[in-house]
Amino acid sequence: MVNRAFLVAVVLAATGVASPSPAQENVWAFGLAYEIMSPFCPGRTLADCPSDQATQLRLWIAQQELDGRTQDEVVAELISRYGEDVRARPEAKGLGLAAYLIPVVALLLGGGGIAWYLRRQVREVESEPIQSDAAPDPEFLRRVDEELRERAR
């Protein structure tokens, strides 16, 4: 079976018609490989996995797009084959929503705690009385005068 995309490219090249730019096409198969974790290379996306099985799966995804299937249908099939761990990031609903909300809440609480602490420290410094009427130690003044005289020489 000949790849349909190859046939279209050959026909368009032979007739001199320019192929549509990627911006005009609905190309999602390439991007999906970066959104799916590879079942063959733990910790890597499908696009980053160098195994032959990953290459075959990427080609399968591209073929599914050429056959007219939607991205959601392909993702659903991949999840049914390989499980929820195939998602590179959790869905923003249900328990997966916590993965997005917890860092935001922690950042807000941490920032608020730091602001409260700093404001409290500034108030304590402002509330301490300045002792400007206290006379300096006479021994200290004598040593300062001595130092100044030695440097003046």
Q: Which of 86, 111, 143 is the last residue of a domain?
A: 86
Residues 76 and 48 in one domain: yes
Residues 128-148 pLDDT 10s? 666 666 777 889 889 999 999
pLDDT at 87: 84
Residues 58-88 pLDDT 10s? 999 999 999 999 999 999 999 999 988 888 8
Residues 87-122 pLDDT 10s? 887 776 777 777 778 888 999 999 999 999 998 888
Residues 5-33 pLDDT 10s? 554 455 445 444 444 444 445 589 889 99
Number of domains the chain contains:
2
Q: 19 lies in which domain range? A: 4-86
Residues 13 and 66 in one domain: yes
pLDDT at 107: 93
Kindly report the pTM of this predicted structure.
0.49
Residues 109 and 73 in one domain: no
Residue 58 maps to a domain = yes
| CA 113/CA 142 separation, integer angstroms | 47
Q: Which of 86, 104, 132 is the last residue of a domain?
A: 86
- Compute the CA torsion angle 14, 15, 17, 23 (nearest 10 deg): -50
Q: What is the CATH number of the domain that holds 19?
A: 1.10.8
Residues 8 and 73 in one domain: yes
Residues 20 and 58 in one domain: yes
